[in-house]
C-alpha cells in the first residue's frame, strides 16, 4: 500500500465542496443519478446472460448468488456515498484513491475504469448492430454501429443535463420490461395466465426442487456464479462519476444511493426469481433471452420483437453511461496533472469535448479489435475490463477506510458528517475482503482466469508508468 500524507479537511464536514473544475455544470438531480446507475447496471447481463447463471447455479442458487451480489453493492455504495460527498468532483474514483491512498493508485484506478467502459462501448455497439439485423437483415452491422455511436456522442456532447435526461428515458424502458416480467411472470406462477396457450405452467416455486435437488450442480456452482454476479452489478458506482455535476450533493447523493440499492435488489432478485421459477434450469438461456421465454410462456404477443427492442435500448443505455464515465475520467486525470492538458478543454456548456472524443475513439478501437483480433487484442481488453470492475470497487472501499481514519486523526467528528457509512471499520474491510475473494476465485474458473493473466500486469504497468512519468512531481507536490 502506498504511503500518503494525512488528509486535511479545511471545510465543515456537512458543507459540500465546490467542484475544483469550475466549467462543469451542476445540472443533475437525484432521479438522473438513480437512472444513470440503473442504466449502467441493467444491461445484457440481466436480459441475456441471466439464463447462464441459472443453468450453472440452479434456480435457488441463482437467487442466492444475486442476493450476495446485491449485498456487496450495498457495502460498496455505502463507502461511495461518504466519499462522493467529501469529494464531489467529476470522475471521482481516482480522486478518492489519490487523496486517501496515493496518486499512483488513483492513476491505475482511472485507467482501469476508463478501459473497462471503452471496451463495453465497443461491445455494445456490435451487439446492438447484430440485434438490428432481426428487422433490417440487409443492413451491415457496421452501419448500425456508426449510427448508434453518433447518437450517443450527440447525447453526451450537448450538456450533462441532456445526457441525464436521455439516460433517464433509456432506463425507463428497461425498468418497464423488468416490472412487466415480475408482474406477469409472478401472476402466472400463482395460476393467473389467461393468455397462455398451454395450461401446463409451473405453480409457485415447484421448479426450484429439481430432479438433482435444490443445488443441481452442487454449492460450488453457486460460488463460481457469485463471482460473475459481481460483474453483473457493475455500473452502480457511476453515481460517483457524476458527483461533480449533481445539484446539492450532500442531499442528493445519499438519496440516490439508497434508492439505487433498493431498486437493484427488487429488480435483479425479483426478475431472477421469476425466471428461475418459470423455466426449468436445464432449458433456460440456451437459445434465447430468458425474458423472451417467460413472456412467451404467459402468452404476451410479439414477445421476441418487444424484447429485441428492450435489449437494444439496454445496450445503448449502458453505452451512454459508459461514454459519460470515460470522458469524465479522462477530464479528471488531466485536471490532476496526470494527462494531456487538452483533455481539460470544456465547451461553453461545460462538456469535456476532447475527452469525450478520445473516449469514443477508444470505444470504436475496441469495436475494430473485436473483429480484427478477437483472440488476442480483444481478449486482453475484455479480460482487463472484467478485472477492472472489482478492482475499482476495492479501490473505493480502501479509499473510504483511509479517508475516515485520516478524518478522525485530524480532529473530525463522525457525527458532523453529512453522510457516514455505518459499522466502520467493519463495513469497508468486509467489502474489500469479499471483492478480493472474488478475484482470487477467478483463478479456479477456466473461463475467467484470463482476467488475472491480463489484469494484474496491466495494473503493474500503470504503477510503473506513473512512477517514471509522474513520480517526481507527485513527491514534490506531497512535500510542498
CATH number for the domain including 157?
A: 1.20.1740.10
Distances (CA, A) of 456 to 70, 112, 449: 26, 11, 11
- From the CB of residue 345, how many other CB atoms can be counted at a distance below 10 Å? 15
Over residues 80-85, mean pLDDT:
86
Q: Is pLDDT above 90 for 256? A: no
Q: What rounded mean pLDDT belongs to the chain?
A: 80
**Phi, psi torsion values for 210, nearest 5 degrees:** -80, 175
| CB of 71 closer than 8 Å to CB of 65 | no
Query: 377 in a domain, yes or no?
Result: yes
Q: Is pLDDT above 80 for 451? A: yes
Query: 370 in a domain, yes or no?
Result: yes
Structural domain harbouring 370: 30-471
Which residue(s) pair with 246 in the sheet? Answer: 28
Query: 21 in a domain, yes or no?
Result: no
Q: Is pLDDT above 70 for 31? A: no
Residue whose C-alpha is closest to residue 176's, from 324, 69, 313 = 313
Burial 171-191 (b: 16+ CB within 10 A, else e): beebbebbebbbebbbebbee
Predicted local confidence at residue 476, as pLDDT: 53
Q: Is pLDDT above 90 for 427? A: yes
Per-residue pLDDT tens digits for 349-358 = 888 899 999 9
Per-residue pLDDT tens digits for 215-253 = 777 777 777 776 678 777 877 777 766 655 667 777 777
Predicted local confidence at residue 75, as pLDDT: 93
Q: Is pLDDT above 90 for 190? A: no
In which residue are the cell numbers 459499522 written?
Answer: 423
Instruction: Considering only residues 427 and 70, tell me which one the structure prediction assigns the higher pLDDT.
Output: 427
Query: 12 in a domain, yes or no?
Result: no
- C-alpha count within 13 angstroms, C-beta hemisphere, residue 210: 23
CA dist 169 and 35 (Å) reads 8
Quote the distance between the C-alpha of residue 391 and its chain's center. 12
Query: 25 in a domain, yes or no?
Result: no
Which residue(s) pair with 28 in the sheet? Answer: 246
Q: Is pLDDT above 50 for 10? A: no
**Phi, psi torsion values for 25, nearest 5 degrees:** -100, 135
Q: Is pLDDT above 50 for 45? A: yes
Q: Compute the Cα dihedral for 82, 88, 94, 95 and give only its sign.
A: negative
Q: Residue by residue, what is the 3-state secondary structure of the chain?
A: CCCCCCCCCCCCCCCCCCCCCCCCCCCECHHHHHHHHHHHHCCHHHHCCHHHHHHHHHHHHHHHHHHHHHHHHHHHHHHHHHHHHHCCCCCCHHHHHHHHCCHHHHHHHHHHHHHHHHHHHHHHHHHHHHHHCCCCCCCCHHHHHHHHHHHHHHHHHHCHHHHHHHHHHHHHHHHHHHHHHHHHHHHHHCCCCCCCCCCCCCCCCHHHCECCECCCCCHHHHHHHHHHHHHHCCCCCHHHHHHHHECCHHHHHHHHHHHHHHHHHHHHHHHHHHHHHHCCCCCCCCCCCHHHHHHHHCCCCCHHHHHHHHHHHHHHHHHHHHHHHHHHHHHHHHHCCCCCHHHHCCCCCCCCHHHHHHHHHHHHHHHHHHHHCCCCHHHHHHHHHHHHHHHHHHHHHHHHHHHHHHHHHCCCCHHHCCCCCCCCCHHHHHHHHHHHHHHHHHCCCCCCCHHHHHHHHHHHHHHHHHHHHCHHHHHHHHHC
Query: 19 in a domain, yes or no?
Result: no
**Phi, psi torsion values for 132, nearest 5 degrees:** -65, -20
Per-residue pLDDT tens digits for 337-387 = 888 999 988 888 888 899 999 999 988 888 888 778 777 787 777 778 778
Over residues 77-105, mean pLDDT:
83
* Total domains, the chain: 1
pTM for the full predicted model: 0.82
Predicted local confidence at residue 8, as pLDDT: 39
Predicted local confidence at residue 135, as pLDDT: 93
Residue 291 pLDDT class (50, 70, 90 cuts): confident
Predicted local confidence at residue 281, as pLDDT: 79
Q: Is pLDDT above 50 for 4? A: no
Predicted local confidence at residue 206, as pLDDT: 84
Q: Is pLDDT above 90 for 440? A: no
List the grid coordinates of 75.
457495502
Query: 2 in a domain, yes or no?
Result: no
Q: Is pLDDT above 90 for 465? A: yes
Query: 250 in a domain, yes or no?
Result: yes
Amino acid at each position: 500500500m502506498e504511503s500518503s500524507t494525512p488528509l486535511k479537511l479545511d471545510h465543515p464536514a456537512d458543507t459540500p465542496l465546490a467542484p475544483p473544475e469550475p466549467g462543469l455544470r451542476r445540472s443533475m438531480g437525484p432521479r438522473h443519478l438513480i437512472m444513470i446507475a440503473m442504466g449502467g447496471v441493467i444491461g445484457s447481463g440481466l436480459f441475456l446472460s441471466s439464463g447462464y447463471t441459472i443453468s450453472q447455479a440452479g434456480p435457488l442458487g441463482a437467487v442466492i448468488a444475486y442476493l450476495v451480489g446485491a449485498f456487496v453493492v450495498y457495502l460498496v455504495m455505502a463507502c461511495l456515498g461518504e466519499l462522493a460527498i467529501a469529494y464531489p468532483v467529476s470522475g471521482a474514483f481516482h480522486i478518492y484513491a489519490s487523496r486517501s491512498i496515493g496518486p499512483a493508485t488513483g492513476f491505475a484506478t482511472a485507467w482501469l475504469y476508463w478501459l473497462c467502459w471503452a471496451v463495453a462501448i465497443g461491445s455494445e455497439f456490435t451487439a446492438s448492430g447484430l440485434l438490428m439485423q432481426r428487422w433490417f437483415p440487409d443492413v451491415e452491422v457496421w452501419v448500425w454501429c456508426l449510427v448508434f455511436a453518433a447518437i450517443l456522442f450527440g447525447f453526451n456532447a450537448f450538456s450533462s443535463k441532456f445526457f441525464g435526461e436521455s439516460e433517464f428515458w433509456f432506463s425507463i424502458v428497461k425498468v418497464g420490461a423488468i416490472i412487466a416480467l415480475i408482474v406477469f411472470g409472478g401472476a402466472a406462477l400463482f395460476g393467473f395466465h389467461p393468455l397462455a396457450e398451454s395450461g401446463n405452467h409451473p405453480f409457485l416455486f415447484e421448479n426450484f426442487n429439481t430432479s438433482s435437488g435444490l443445488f443441481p450442480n452442487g454449492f460450488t456452482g453457486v460460488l463460481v456464479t457469485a463471482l460473475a454476479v459481481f460483474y453483473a452489478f457493475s455500473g452502480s458506482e457511476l453515481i460517483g462519476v457524476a458527483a461533480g455535476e449533481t445539484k446539492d450533493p450532500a442531499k442528493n447523493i445519499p438519496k440516490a444511493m439508497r434508492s439505487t440499492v433498493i431498486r437493484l435488489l427488487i429488480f435483479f432478485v425479483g426478475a431472477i426469481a421469476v425466471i428461475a421459477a418459470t423455466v426449468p434450469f436445464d432449458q433456460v438461456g440456451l437459445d434465447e433471452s430468458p425474458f423472451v421465454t417467460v413472456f412467451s410462456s404467459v402468452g404476451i404477443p410479439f414477445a421476441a420483437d418487444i424484447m429485441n427492442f428492450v435489449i437494444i435500448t439496454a445496450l445503448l443505455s449502458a453505452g451512454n453511461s459508459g461514454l459519460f464515465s470515460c470522458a469524465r475520467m479522462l477530464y479528471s486525470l488531466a485536471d490532476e496533472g496526470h494527462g494531456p492538458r487538452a483533455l481539460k478543454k470544456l465547451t461553453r456548456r461545460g462538456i469535456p469535448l476532447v475527452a469525450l472524443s478520445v473516449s469514443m475513439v477508444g470505444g470504436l478501437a475496441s469495436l475494430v479489435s473485436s473483429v480484427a483480433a478477437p483472440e488476442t487484442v480483444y481478449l486482453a481488453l475484455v479480460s482487463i475490463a472484467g478485472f477492472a470492475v472489482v478492482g475499482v470497487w476495492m479501490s473505493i472501499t480502501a479509499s473510504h477506510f483511509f479517508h475516515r481514519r485520516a478524518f478522525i486523526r485530524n480532529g473530525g467528528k463522525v457525527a458532523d458528517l453529512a453522510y457516514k457509512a455505518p459499522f466502520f471499520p467493519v463495513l469497508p474491510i468486509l467489502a474489500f475482503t469479499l471483492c478480493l475473494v472474488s478475484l482470487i476465485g477467478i483463478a479456479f474458473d477456466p473461463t475467467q482466469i484470463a482476467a488475472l493473466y491480463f489484469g494484474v500486469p496491466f495494473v503493474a504497468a500503470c504503477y510503473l508508468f506513473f512512477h517514471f512519468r509522474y513520480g517526481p512531481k507527485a513527491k514534490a507536490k506531497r512535500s510542498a
